[in-house]
Each structure stands twice: as structure tokens, then as C-alpha cells.
Amino acid sequence: MSKNIKNKISVKIEVDFSLLRQLNLEKRSFTVEEVDISISGIGVFSKYFIPKGTVVALKLKINNKSMNLKSEICTSVSGESGLNRLGIRFIDLKEKDLEILEEYIEKIDKRNAPRFILT
């Protein structure tokens, strides 16, 4: 992903207060680093491990447009670097949020080289 584009997205995860102790989290809301994004979800690196199946509130800010998305952790893998790779699926996207995502993803695809070429 182009650094230019990547800097235009911020991601924050917010968990329910009732899960703080169970998940051994220091705080309810924390910023994570976006790795990849699609219409159906987002991959992030987090210093906190959140188990698969946990429902979270995802606060995305893309090009100064804010979205609050109900989301579910679909994959959670601990890394050797102390960061965890989380795969997060969006739940019940609103039409306006879908439009923001589609516009952003279209711009990313135009700036990046194709992942593969069919022959």
C-alpha cells in the first residue's frame, strides 16, 4: 500500500466494558495499525490479543470521514514481535459506510500494482 494512502486511514478498536477483565485489557479503546482492507473487513496489527468471535466497535476514519462499525474478530494470531494480527469482519454495513469504503478501496487499487496477472 502506498504510504500516501495509508496515512489517510486511522483505526480504533473499542471493546465492551464487561470484557476488559476477561480479555486482560488495560483500556477499553485503543488504536491499531491497518494492514489491509476490503469491503467485508480489515486486517490490523494490535498490541492486544482479542480472541476470535469477540464483537467489537470499530472506529474508522478514512480521508476525514468517520465510521462506527459493529465488527467481529474472525482471526487472531499472536506474532513473535509482540504484535497480534487480527482479521476483523464488518457486520451490517450502512449504505453510506459502504460507499466510503468502496471509494477508498478503488483509489488504493488504482495506485498499487496488480497482485497477480491472469494469462
Give me the amino acid identity at 91: I
User: Does 119 score more than 80 pLDDT?
Assistant: no
Mean pLDDT of 18-45: 90
d(CA 5, CA 100): 14
pLDDT of residue 7: 45
d(CA 49, CA 29): 13
Query: Where do the domains of the chain lie, and which CATH numbers do they carry?
Result: 3-110 (2.40.10.220)
DSSP lists the bridge partners of residue 77 as 85
d(CA 73, CA 40): 12
pLDDT of residue 66: 94
Q: For 2-26, what is each residue's pLDDT tens digit?
A: 444 444 789 999 999 888 888 888 7
pTM: 0.81
User: Does 1 score more than 50 pLDDT?
Assistant: no
Count CA atoms closer than 13 A to 27's CA, side-chain side. 6
Q: Helix and strand tally (H, E) in the chain?
A: 3, 6
- Helix boundaries (H) for 1-119: 3-6, 20-23, 95-111
Q: For 62-118, what is each residue's pLDDT tens digit?
A: 988 999 999 999 999 998 788 999 999 999 899 999 999 999 998 876 655 555 555
pLDDT of residue 108: 79
